[in-house]
Copies of this chain bind each other. A is one copy, B any other.
Amino acid sequence: MCTAATYQTKDFYFGRTLDYEFSYGDQIAITPRNYPFSFRHAGEMNTHYAIIGMAHVAGNYPLYYDAINEKGVGMAGLNFVGNAAYADVTSDRDNIAQFEFIPWILSQCATLSEVRTLLERMALVATPFNEQFPLAQLHWIISDKTGSITVESMADGLHIYENPVGVLTNNPPFPQQMFQLNNFMHLSPKQPVNTFSDDLALTAYSRGMGALGLPGDLSSASRFVRVAFTKMNAFSGDSEKESVSQFFHILGSVDQQRGCCEVADGKYEITLYTSCCNVTKGIYYYTTYENHQISAVDMHRENLDGGALICYPVIQGEQINYQN
C-alpha cells in the first residue's frame, strides 16, 4: 500500500512511498499562490500558500497524493481501506470533500498548530471528485518540524492523533499501529546481550542481531514497525545530499519489490514512487520503481505568484551513468 515518514536533520524532510499495482498517471504539480481553489462546500479561495507535490491532475485540478506548502507543512494521504468513512454535509462544520483535504490544509496552514485549529471545525465529507473517480479510502499524516498528527475519518467520527513516531502506513487504525510498537521495544541497533541464561555461552554470530524479531514482510502493520525502527535509529550527516540520501534509505526499508506482493494472478503491487520533500526549502525529490536516480523539482525556481498549475513529468526508466 503506502508508507510515509518524516526526518529531521538541519532541514525537515517529509515523504512517502506509493505502492500499487498500476499508476493513475502522476505529475509533480506546483499550485501557485493565485491558483483559484473552488471548494465544493467551503467557498472560493483565490490566494493561498503555494504547494508542491505528486498529483494526478484531472480537469486542471491537482489531486495530491502528498505535498508540502511553502510554509513548512507536509501532508500525505495513504490507503485506509475498510476503515475510512466520511461524514455527511452538516451546517455547523467546514465540510471538506475528501479529495480537497490536502489543498484545504496546505493552502491555509503555516504550522501544525494552525492545522490543529482548522481541524477542530472540519468534517471530511463523501462528496466525490466526479463520477469516474471512486471515493478513495484514505487516512492522512500532517507534519511540520515540530511534529506529526494522523487524521482518520471513520464510522465513529473524525479522529486526530498525535503521531510521535512520524510514520504512517495503512491498516489497522493508527492507535493499534502505535500500540504494536510496544511488542518491539526490546529491538536495538546494538548487539543483543545474553539474558536467556547465564549458564549458556550464547553469542552474536553476526552483526545486526539486535533487531531480531523485526518483521520483514510487506503488510502494513509490519511496514509500520520496520520503518519506525529504521527512522528512529537513522543517522546521517545533515547536508542536503546526505539527508536526502538517508531519507531514501529509510523508505527503502519498506520498498515493495515486484513479485513479493501478488494482488491478483500475475499482478503485483510495487513501490511506484518514493518521495522526499525538503519541507524547509520546498524541494520535491523522488525516485520511481524503474528509476533509482533521484530527480528533483524546486518550487522556488518557479514563479509562485502565478495562477496556473505548473507540472513536471515523472522521469521514468533507469537513468544510468555509463562511465565508459
Q: Which residues of A contact B (CB under 8 A)?
A: 1, 28, 82, 164-165, 170-172, 176, 179, 181-190, 192-197, 199-223, 225-226, 228-230, 232-236, 241-242, 244-246, 248-250, 252-253, 255-263, 268-269, 285, 287, 289-298, 301-302, 312, 315, 317-324
CA distance A272 to B305 in the complex (A): 43
Chain A residues touching B, majority SS: loop
What 3 A-B pairs are tightest by C-beta distance, nearest first? A216-B216, A208-B218, A197-B232
- Which of A82, A181, A225, A244 neighbours the largest number of chain B CB atoms within 10 Å of its CB? A181
Contacts of A182 in B (CB 8 A): 202-205, 209
Give complex CA distance A196, B232 in Å. 8
Looking at the assembled complex, report how far the CB atom of A175 sits from the nearest CB atom of chain B, in whole angstroms.
9
| CB proximity of A236 to chain B, nearest CB, Å | 6
Q: With both chains docked as a complex, state the minimum distance between the C-beta of A146 and any C-beta of chain B, in angstroms.
A: 14
Query: Please, how many angstroms separate the alpha-carbon atoms of A291 and B323 in the complex?
Result: 14
The complex places the Cα of A195 from the Cα of B186 at a distance, in Å, of: 5
Q: Is the CB of B322 within 8 A of A298?
A: yes
Docked-complex contact A244 and B318, CB < 8 angstroms: yes
Is A196 within 8 A of B219, CB to CB? no
Q: List 24 A-B contacts (CB under 8 A).
A: A164-B201, A176-B176, A182-B203, A183-B209, A184-B196, A185-B194, A186-B192, A189-B259, A196-B228, A207-B219, A208-B217, A208-B260, A211-B217, A211-B260, A212-B215, A213-B213, A216-B216, A235-B259, A285-B320, A292-B292, A297-B322, A312-B324, A315-B321, A319-B321
